[in-house]
């Protein structure tokens, strides 16, 4: 099968690599050098222009936001043809997904939103969790391809549902990080050794993926790698906030967390890692994590 992969970021690069082992692939990336490297590493072919990707039977996209998807669809639209499948691995917003699906359906192209979770490790190992929104048929067609990089693949509902649950997952992630940070800051200020605190908390009912896997390396070992941009997590939380606004729900905690992440992003900048919100949070209290 002829495939195309648009967007070779930290996640897209290895995902495209996995698919390319089983299928012919053309790749495109905004920064050309990365696409060249991919072609060298996996034997994929670099698209001269993003619109060349329209030649494939199946088009994957994995871009920062739904806005970039819109631009790419604009670029390809004139060359798309009936019967193609578009698998969008972007963490986008549900409403945009519904509009894109509608637009592509008008061209005879099936669209599924299929955002992933599992980090760069999971992408490298091909063990990502993939949440798919789309028709039954779309899901059935996409499944064997997604299986090339995914381990747990779930059809969660109609188009947009994948984006919706991804956004909600990231709200939970964001909130779990923040509240754990507030608690740990208090324990630290009271003189407790944080490695001891984690030992207890991670054996307790307040534990989360955040407290078990994400916070100890930063707060105990003092290592603050750039794993996932705060700017992207802020975007995801805002997608969720927009969804609940449209639903007219009362979600005070989600909204507060969203406002705090936006404030942290403004303070830490567009290139900060998401866990660095803890630095912003400590600063709100006139404290720090060192020492």
How many other CB atoms are there within 10 angstroms of residue 71's CB atom? 11
Among 223, 250, 290, 291, binds its own copies (CB under 8 A): 250
Task: Kindly state whether residue 255 participates in binding its own copies, applying the rule CB under 8 A.
Answer: yes
Name which of 77 and 172 has its Cβ closer to its own copies: 172
CB of 215 to its own copies, least distance (A): 11
CB of 33 to its own copies, least distance (A): 30
Task: Kindly state whether residue 283 participates in binding its own copies, applying the rule CB under 8 A.
Answer: yes
Task: Kindly state whether residue 238 participates in binding its own copies, applying the rule CB under 8 A.
Answer: yes
How many other CB atoms are there within 10 angstroms of residue 41's CB atom? 12
Among 83, 225, 247, 290, binds its own copies (CB under 8 A): 247
At a CB cut-off of 8 Å and minimum separation 6, what does 150 contact? Answer: 116, 126, 127, 128, 129, 130
Task: Kindly state whether residue 209 participates in binding its own copies, applying the rule CB under 8 A.
Answer: yes
DSSP bridge pairs for 133: 113, 157
DSSP bridge pairs for 229: 273
At a CB cut-off of 8 Å and minimum separation 6, what does 4 contact? Answer: 25, 26, 27, 28, 47, 52, 53, 54, 55, 56, 58, 59, 60
Name which of 36 and 182 has its Cβ closer to its own copies: 182
Query: Interacting stretch for its own copies, rule CB under 8 A, among 3-11, 16-24, 30-38, 152-160?
Result: 152-160
CB of 16 to its own copies, least distance (A): 22
What would you report as the CA-atom Rg of the chain, rounded to the nearest whole angstrom? 20
CB of 280 to its own copies, least distance (A): 10
How far lies 1's CA from each of 26, 63, 106, 139, in Å? 11, 22, 23, 17
Among 112, 197, 268, 275, binds its own copies (CB under 8 A): 197
Task: Kindly state whether residue 190 participates in binding its own copies, applying the rule CB under 8 A.
Answer: yes
Task: Kindly state whether residue 159 participates in binding its own copies, applying the rule CB under 8 A.
Answer: no
Among 43, 206, 222, 288, binds its own copies (CB under 8 A): 206
* Residue count, binding to its own copies (CB under 8 A): 83
The token pair at 121 is 């490790």
Task: Kindly state whether residue 207 participates in binding its own copies, applying the rule CB under 8 A.
Answer: yes
Query: Interacting stretch for its own copies, rule CB under 8 A, among 8-16, 17-25, 80-88, 188-196?
Result: 188-196
Sites for its own copies among residues 59-98 (CB under 8 A): 94
The closest alpha carbon to 260, from 284, 242, 228, belongs to: 284
Task: Kindly state whether residue 185 participates in binding its own copies, applying the rule CB under 8 A.
Answer: yes
Burial of 13 (0-12, 13-18, 19+ CB in 10 A): buried
Among 2, 256, 271, 288, binds its own copies (CB under 8 A): 256
d(CA 189, CA 251) in angstroms, rounded, equals: 30
d(CA 39, CA 29) in angstroms, rounded, equals: 11
């Amino acid at each position: 099968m002829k495939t195309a992969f648009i967007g070779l970021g930290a996640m897209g690069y290895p995902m495209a690599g996995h698919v390319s082992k089983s299928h012919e692939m053309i790749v495109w990336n905004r920064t050309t050098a990365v696409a060249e490297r991919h072609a060298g590493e996996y034997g994929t072919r670099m698209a001269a222009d993003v619109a060349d990707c329209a030649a494939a039977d199946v088009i994957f996209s994995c871009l920062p936001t739904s806005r970039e998807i819109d631009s790419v669809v604009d670029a390809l639209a004139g060359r798309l043809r009936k019967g193609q499948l578009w698998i969008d691995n972007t963490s986008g917003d549900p409403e945009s997904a519904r509009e894109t699906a509608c637009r592509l359906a008008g061209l005879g192209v099936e669209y599924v939103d299929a955002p992933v979770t599992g980090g760069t490790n999971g992408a490298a190992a091909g063990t990502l969790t993939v949440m798919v929104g789309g028709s039954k048929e779309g899901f059935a067609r996409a499944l064997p391809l997604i299986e090339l990089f995914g381990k747990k693949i779930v059809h969660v509902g109609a188009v947009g549902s994948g984006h919706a649950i991804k956004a909600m997952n990231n709200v939970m992630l964001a909130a779990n990080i923040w509240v754990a940070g507030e608690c740990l800051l208090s324990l630290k200020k009271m003189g407790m050794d944080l490695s001891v605190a984690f030992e207890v908390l991670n054996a307790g009912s307040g534990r989360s993926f955040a407290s078990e896997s994400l916070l100890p390396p930063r707060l105990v070992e003092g290592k603050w790698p750039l794993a996932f941009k705060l700017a992207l997590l802020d975007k995801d939380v805002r997608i969720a906030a927009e969804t609940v606004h449209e639903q007219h729900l009362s979600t005070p905690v989600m909204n507060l967390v969203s406002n705090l992440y936006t404030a942290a992003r403004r303070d830490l900048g567009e290139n900060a890692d998401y866990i660095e919100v803890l630095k912003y949070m400590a600063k709100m209290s006139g404290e720090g994590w060192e020492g």
